Structures are given as structure tokens and as C-alpha cells.
Chains A and B, each alone.
Chain A
Amino acid sequence: MTPLLQVRGLVAGYAGSRVLHGVDLDVAEGSTVALLGRNGVGKSTLVAAVMGMVRPSAGSVVMEGRELAGKPSDVIARAGIAIVPQGRRVFAPLTVEENLAISVRRKRPGRWDVPAVYELLPRLAERRGNRGDQLSGGEQQMLAIGRALLANPRLLLLDEPSDGLAPAVVSQVADVLATLIQEGLSILLVEQNLRLAFQLADEVTVMQKGELVLRCPTLDFRSDEARARQLLGVA
């Protein structure tokens, strides 16, 4: 069976510096793939390149049989990929309600609308009148997740959702993501927080210097601490 997302030989970078040197990555329908690696190995660039926010210079990104590499990100969004970016990036001057309303795409109806997001993330409903920059980090993360869901994506890209959050808040985010995974949403999760990654992912992939160096089931990876330490510099 062909996977939902199939990345092959992806090369991308920024003016003058190449970050990805031919990455291959699959995300199967309904699975959660954790993308691990030390700082600066290209995890965020990979996610940005899949979303079309960084233009790949070579390689292919195929989603449900459709070639998306080089397409603008609005086309990629309509093809069913949504991103929860690192640092949340909510619309600071807009209220929670406006942040969500702006994300509703009428041409892509489905499981998620604004009431459904409020049901999943009740904290947002309480703060619906507050501006994006009045929210706590955790609330902003919830808002960013809600905003991505409103696109009714087949595949959700999450770039370090635990970044900068208190442990209690991380576990709230984890609960929300676990609910989504249970519902069958496919997820590519970039994460430094190994506990969170292990808790959610079926499969672990590790990047080093712009290449994917390991791909294995989460359980196998967890049982081999020495390898984890060698690849990630942590236990």
C-alpha cells in the first residue's frame, strides 16, 4: 500500500546553504511518525519544505498520489496537509474567535468546524474574546492546533508542539494529540521531548545533518538506549 505521504530525495535549503540532502520519508495513513534529531539537523526545514513554505530544489513530495513538491503552500493546504508551526504563530492582533474563523475553509468541510474545535479545546472557548497575544503559551499552542484542524487535513505536521511549555501543559497537549490520533488523523511530529514523542508515535525517524538515518518502530527505539544516546545525545 502506498503511504499517505511519500517524500523522496528531498533537497532544500535557504539562500546559499543546503539543509536537506535528499530525505526519504513515509507517513502511512492513520499513523504517527515522530521526527527526532538534534538542533539544526533540518527537521523544521523538512516540515517547511513539505508544506511548501521552503521551496525544495529537488526531490518529490507525494500526497495521496499527487505531486506537491514546488507547489505554493495554499495548494498544499488544499491537498490536505496542515501545519502547526514552531512558535505557534497565531495571529496576534486577532481574537481567538477570529483566529479560528479565519481558518475555516468553506470548500473543505469535514469533521472540524469551530464548535467542534471548542469542544476539543474548551480552554479556547473560554478565551474566545481574547487577542492572540494575550494567550499563554499553552493556549496559543491549542489555538494553533485548532486552526490547523479547521482545514480538515488528512495529514497534520506538528513542529515542536511542546516547545517552551510547562510539563503540565505538555501533557494537556499530549492528551489532545492522543485524541486526534485515536480518531485516525495521520501526524508527522517533530519533537525534542522524547517522552511526548514516544508516547504518541508508532514510528520513530531520526535525522542527522540533513539526512534521515534511522526509521524504526517506537518500541524498538525505546529498548535501545545506547543508540538513542548516540543519535540524539540524550537518553
Chain B
Amino acid sequence: MSSSTGGLRAPAPLLARQAERGTAAPSAPPGGRRRLRGPAIQAVAVLVLATLPFLMSSYQVSTMTRILAFALLAVSVDLLTGVTGLPTLGQAAYFGVGAYAAALTALHWTANAPAQLLVAVGAGLLAAAATGWVAVRTRGIVFLMLTLAIGELVHQVADGWSFVGGSNGLTGIASPRLLPGGAPITLAGVVYWYVLAVFVLAYLGVRAVVASPFGRTLRGIRDNEPRMRAIGYRPAVAKFAVYCLAGAVAGAAGSLWITQTRFVSPGDLAFEVAALALLSVVIGGAGSLWGPCLGAGVVLLTRDYLSTYVGGRGSLLLGLVFIAVVYVLPRGLAGLGQRLAVGRRPGGEPRGVRP
């Protein structure tokens, strides 16, 4: 039986290996101290993030805002790739759908950012629901290729549809407002705080899902889908549900992106975005959710910031970072954290039977 189980996991042995570690961590040890440490670190991280506008230039704060939005996209990719074991190149599509939906809402209806966010979440969810059913009946390379096709399809639509500006995209988006009738926010720091707040809520929501019985089902599917079916689950249903959820999260990320850039073009849902999001997950450590957020930071900073020092060859630099991570940190940045936290676990735990 094992041959039918393992065959198509191929594209992502690294992801699978990372993921096994990653999601075991939040729920694993019943011991008290470690359970407390995670939330404490996260609270400190949020506090530090919240103080950044006082310490940085407005350009840097804008960069951080975009990183947060991109990190949320990476979380949605991790939900599929790390938690459920479905390597995807399609999340840029729902990110883009969310971005376009938010932009259209801003142009034609309201500058209210939370309203744009809700529309974007709904649009991402619907787009994922409309396209996902085909994809979730597969896994492995086939899933990867189908999501790639979905991404390219949506990209083509955005590129050719004059209603959404064609290849020029949508410009002239007004500054967002947080409250109906409130003043437009122009300060980069305030935009950042709004994006940070949404990011934290969405992140905690995804975390709660992963820790729930449904999350356990997803990890079971990642580990051994035929086995889940033999227990009586219909994996395609759970996969479809998580695909829709990931679409909604990506849509939210797209809306946050627009809130900062106030411009959207087909480039925002191009293959490059999907690839960078998946790269963030690999660099950060698949399955941990927080690792990919760090990975998103590394990826965007390397591409947009460090690349100015190497004559704009950001992609080359990213490639080198990727290779370095694969060799030095096979479990990504999250694995580094675990290694430091546990201290003594030289070669990792023994790997048991894996079908």
C-alpha cells in the first residue's frame, strides 16, 4: 500500500519534512512552561512591531507595512503547503483578487478600509471556492501544476480586462479611512498600525484553526491521505474547506497590500508573487505559520532593499538565500528557533515509520 501513499509527494519533500516539525510544536508538549513561552514571545513580537513607527522613517514603515501584508499571504500559503501538505503556486491569484476587489471598492464605493477588507475577504473566498474544487481532488505535483494554472488564468484575466485597467492596473485610489466619515489616514505609521492589527487578528484566527480538530484533520491529510479516508474522512471536503479559507486569508492580504500601495496591477498576482510567497514559506519553515512571516520579511527585504546594493540583482540574491537555507536550515527559520529552544537535539529525533 505504501507506494500509492507516497508517490506524488515529490515536489516538496523538504516542505513535508519541515511541516512535520513545524505544526507539532504548538500543540506538542503537555508541559506547562513551553506552552506559556510561545504566546509570550508572540506578545513581545507584536509589541516590538507596534513601536516600529516611532523608530523608523516613513519609507521604512511603508516597507514594513508591505511585509506584513505579504506575510499574511505567506501564512495562507503555509496553511495549504505546510499544514495540509498541498504545495501551491495559486495563492497569488486570490491575493490579487482581494487586491483588485479592495481597489474597486475604494474607487467605486468607499474609502473605508475595513469595508474594503471585508469585500476582499469575500472575493478571495469566492474565487477560491470557484476554482478550488478541481485542485483539491489532487495532491503533490498535480496540485502544484493546477494551482499554477489557476494563477496564470487569473493573471491573464486581470491583464486583459479593461474594467480592471488591463495591464495598467488601477490607480487613483484615495487614502483609506478607518471609520465611516472619519478622516483619511495619510500617516504611514497609522496605515501600518491598521495593517498590523488586521494581520495579528488574521494570524491568530489561522492559528486557532490549525489548533482545532479541523486543523488536526488537515495534518492527518498531510501525513497520510489514504489513511484518513480509511478512517472515514472525505479528504477532498476538508481540503476544499481549507482551500477556501486560505483564499479568504490571501484576499485579506491583498486588501492590506492595497491599503499601503494604493495601486494594483496584474504584476501583483503574477507568478513571481506566488513563487516568492512559496519561497517565504520554505525559508521560514513550512507548517509553523510564524516562520513564513519571517520568511516573507527576508524575501521582501532582500528583493527590495538589499538588492540596491548588488546592482538590482535581487533575484540572484534570493536564490542564494534559498540555497543557503536549504543546506543550513532544512527546517527553515522556524527550525532554527526550535533548535535554539530545545538545545540538545543534535540530529533531530528518530524518524519513525512513515508510509
The residues of A with any CB-CB pair to B shorter than 8 Å are 44, 48, 51-54, 72-74, 76-78, 82-83, 85-95, 98, 101-103, 105, 108, 129, 131-135, 140, 147, 151
Number of A-B contacts (CB under 8 A): 107
Asked if A92 and B223 make an inter-chain contact with CB atoms under 8 angstroms apart, the answer reads yes
- Cβ of B89 to closest chain A Cβ, rounded Å: 24
The reply to whether A77 and B229 form a contact with Cβ atoms under 8 Å apart is: yes
A108 to B228, CA, bound (A): 15
| Residue of B whose beta carbon sits closest to that of A131 | B24
Q: In the docked arrangement, what's the CA distance between A24 and B87, Å? A: 42
A–B Cβ pairs within 8 angstroms, 8 of them:
A74-B232, A74-B233, A83-B230, A89-B355, A91-B220, A92-B353, A98-B219, A131-B28
**A98's contact among B216, B232, B234, by CB below 8 Å, is which?**
B216
A-B pairs with lowest CB-CB distance, top 4: A133-B352, A77-B232, A93-B20, A129-B30
Partner of A95, one of B20, B28, B213, B217: B28
- Nearest B residue (CB) for A85: B1
Q: Tell whether A102 pairs with B220 under 8 Å between CB atoms, given A44-B1, A72-B229.
A: yes
Cβ contacts under 8 Å, A86 to chain B: 1
Which B residues lie within 8 Å of A132 (CB)? 352
* Contact status B230-A77, CB under 8 Å: yes
> Does A92 contact B2, Cβ atoms closer than 8 Å?
no
Chain B CB within 10 Å — which of A73, A89, A132 has the most?
A89
C-beta contact mask, B214-242 vs A, less than 8 Å → 1, else 0?
00110110011011111111110000000
Residues of A within 8 A of B216 (CB): 94, 98, 101-102
Name B237's closest neighbour in chain A (CB-CB).
Answer: A74
Q: Which residue of A lies closest to B234 (CB)?
A: A74
| A124 CA / B228 CA spacing, docked (Å) | 20
Complex CA gap A76/B228 in Å reads 12
Which chain B residues lie closer than 8 Å to A88 at the CB level? 353
Question: By the criterion CB–CB under 8 Å, are B355 and A151 in contact?
Answer: no
Instruction: Report B's interface with A, CB cutoff 8 A.
Output: 1-2, 4, 19-21, 23-24, 27-30, 213, 216-217, 219-220, 223-224, 226-235, 349-355
Q: Which of B4, B28, B219, B353 contacts A133 (CB 8 A)?
A: B353
A53–B4 CA distance with the chains assembled, in angstroms: 9
CB distance from B159 to the nearest CB of A (A): 40
Interface of B is mostly: helix
Judge whether A91 and B29 touch: CB under 8 Å: no
Do the beta carbons of A92 and B227 come within 8 Å of each other? no
Q: How far does the Cβ of B286 sit from chain A's closest Cβ, in whole Å?
A: 12
Most buried by A among B1, B230, B349: B230
Residues of A within 8 A of B230 (CB): 51-53, 73-74, 76-77, 82-83, 85
- Measured between beta carbons, the chain A residues less than 8 angstroms from B19 are 93
Other-chain contact of B226, A73, A76, A78, A105 (Cβ < 8 Å): A73
User: Are B219 and A93 within 8 A (Cβ)?
Assistant: yes
Nearest CB of B to A108, in Å = 7
A sample of 4 more A-B contacts (CB under 8 A), given A73-B229, A92-B354, is A53-B226, A89-B355, A92-B353, A95-B24
Q: A87-B355, A98-B216 are in contact. Are A74 and B24 (CB under 8 A)?
A: no
B28 near A92: Cβ-Cβ < 8 Å: no
For A89, the chain B residues whose CB sits under 8 A away are 224, 227, 353, 355
Q: How far is the CA of A102 from the CA of B224 in the complex (A)?
A: 12
Which A residues are CB-close (under 8 A) to B2? 87
Contacts of B228 in A (CB 8 A): 102
The residue in chain A whose Cβ has the minimal distance to the Cβ of B232 is A77
Chain B residues in 8 Å Cβ range of A83:
230
What is the chain A residue whose CB lies nearest that of B222?
A93
Instruction: For A151, list chain B residues within 8 Å (CB).
Output: 231-232
In the bound complex, what is the Cα–Cα distance between A86 and B229 (angstroms)?
16
Q: Are A133 and B1 in contact (CB under 8 A)?
A: no
A93 to B224, CA, bound (A): 11
Q: Once the chains are docked, how many angstroms separate the CA of A83 from the CA of B227? A: 9
Closest-CB distance, A54 to chain B (whole angstroms): 8
Contact of B353 among A72, A73, A87 (CB under 8 A): A87
User: Are A95 and B27 within 8 A (Cβ)?
Assistant: yes
Min distance, Cβ B218 to any Cβ of chain A, angstroms: 10
Bound complex: CA A102 to CA B219 (Å) = 10
Q: Do A133 and B232 touch across chains, with their CB atoms under 8 A apart?
A: no
A92 touches B20 (CB 8 A): yes
By a CB distance below 8 angstroms, the chain A residues around B29 are 129
